[in-house]
Amino acid sequence: MGFSFKPWLLSVMGATMMAVQPAAAQETLRIGAPLPLTGPLSPEGLKQQRGYDLWAETVNGKGGIEVDGTTYNVEIVYVDYESNTPRAVQTAERLITNDKVNFLFAPFGSGAAKAASSVAERYQIPMIAATASSSSVYDQGYKYLFGTFTPNQTLTAPLTNIVADSGQGVKTVAIYARNDLFPLAIANEMKASAEGRDLEVVSFAEYAIGTMDHASALTLMLQSQPDWVFITGYINDLILMRRQMADLGIKPKVLTMIAGPAYKEFIDATGPLSQNVTSAAWWHPAVSYKGEDLFGSTANYVKAFEDKYGATPDYAEASASAAGAILQLAIDDAGSIDPTAVRDALAAMDTVTFYGNVRFDETGQIDSLEPPVFQIQDGSTKTIYPEAVKQGEMRYSDIQ
């Protein structure tokens, strides 16, 4: 379980850092990126790193970013905060004060992004969050935080409508959530979405970060005989849980897990147990956009990613690349790398990228995407919503 690729780590001032090395240029634009490159969230952190690296290398390969007669090559400074949120906040501040970065990419996930956003706001440095969807991240009144994930209900509502309208007799839902900001927030949105369609939530339980044995909680869930099981967490949580569900014989009509099934690593690790698991995400390679960004289109981005990594990008990787592409567009619009000017350009942005339509609401959260719903069928993900990118129909009652 996990990834075969390894981050190139450089020890500087006691931190784990890496730079995308630019070619010779007049100036360097430095972007700080605190990530969980080790610890339980490392699979997600490494995905973000791949997305950022692809954007930076593409920028530099095209000659850098030209601003008012000066060319800037991109250097990304990574710091490993070891899946520890307080350390993520500390490293974000050190990136600004010691490493003199021009801009920030947020730490992974809603919890760490929310915690670190106060640092960006205090120093008035624009920070783009590539993996933070919970509304509580953006309701702080901050002006320098922007995020590439729409609110959680944009995932749960379409999925609930599909299931409720399926005619498959799905009447009850059991929800099991990691007690962490994003997983718990999206579980609560699922509860609201289910009740809004007159589905009965027969259980709602939480598990602690780091839980390795879910047998007791899953056994209690089994007693309620839910038609639909909805589980939230990160990839290592969900791989473990999927195996334990199989051991206990839990076979609902619908099994939804967010967000691990979007990753090929989930399919590889669970094999036949991944069959017909449903999920939703903010992007899928099946979408098709013609963009104003440096990649130009979804197809171009997917090809560039596949050429570099020998794999198809998932939403976490694409969102990281999009964060870079959006920052670059904002710099172009501002005609400056002044933080306030770039912040204003981000707030006013209304454009299309390979990732989709990009427009931020007054809180800084993107409000212009229609996230796809998908299901793992025969070893690969198939989109089942929205209609424009639909690849197949949803399947029921074939959970292993």
Looking at the DSSP bridge assignments, the partners of residue 394 are none
Helix residue spans in the chain (DSSP H): 42-61, 85-97, 109-123, 135-138, 153-164, 181-196, 215-223, 235-248, 264-270, 298-309, 315-334, 339-348
Q: Are 233 and 209 contacting, i.e. CB atoms less than 8 angstroms apart?
A: no
Q: Are 193 and 143 contacting, i.e. CB atoms less than 8 angstroms apart?
A: no
> 75 by DSSP, 3-state: which?
strand
φ/ψ of 18, rounded to 5, equals -150, 145
Whether residue 86 is preceded by a cis peptide bond, meaning omega within 30 degrees of 0, is: no
pTM for the complete prediction? Answer: 0.87
Residue 369, both tokens: 């995407």
Question: What angle in degrees, to the nearest 10, is found between the helix axes of 315-334 and 298-309?
Answer: 120
> What does the pLDDT read at residue 398?
66
Measured CA angle at 132 (ends 345, 77), to 5 deg = 70
Distance of alpha carbon 350 from alpha carbon 331, whole angstroms: 14
> What does the pLDDT read at residue 379?
93
Domains by residue range for the chain, with CATH:
27-150+286-359 (3.40.50.2300), 153-281+372-389 (3.40.50.2300)
Closest among 158, 372, 375, 391 to 276, alpha carbons compared:
375
Question: What is the residue-level pLDDT of the chain in tens, covering all 400 positions?
Answer: 344 333 433 333 333 344 444 444 469 999 999 999 999 999 999 999 999 999 999 999 999 999 999 999 999 999 999 999 999 999 999 999 999 999 999 999 999 999 999 999 999 999 999 999 999 999 999 999 999 999 999 999 999 999 999 999 999 999 999 999 999 999 999 999 999 999 999 999 999 999 999 999 999 998 999 999 999 999 999 999 999 999 999 999 999 999 899 999 999 999 999 999 999 999 999 999 999 999 999 999 999 999 999 999 999 999 999 999 999 999 999 999 999 999 999 999 999 999 999 999 999 999 999 999 999 999 999 999 999 899 999 999 767 6
Neighbours of 99 (CB within 10 A): 16
> What does the pLDDT read at residue 11?
32
> What does the pLDDT read at residue 400?
62
**How many residues can be counted in the chain?**
400
Cβ neighbors of 145 (< 8 A, separation 6 or more) are 106, 113, 117, 120, 121, 127, 129, 137, 138, 364
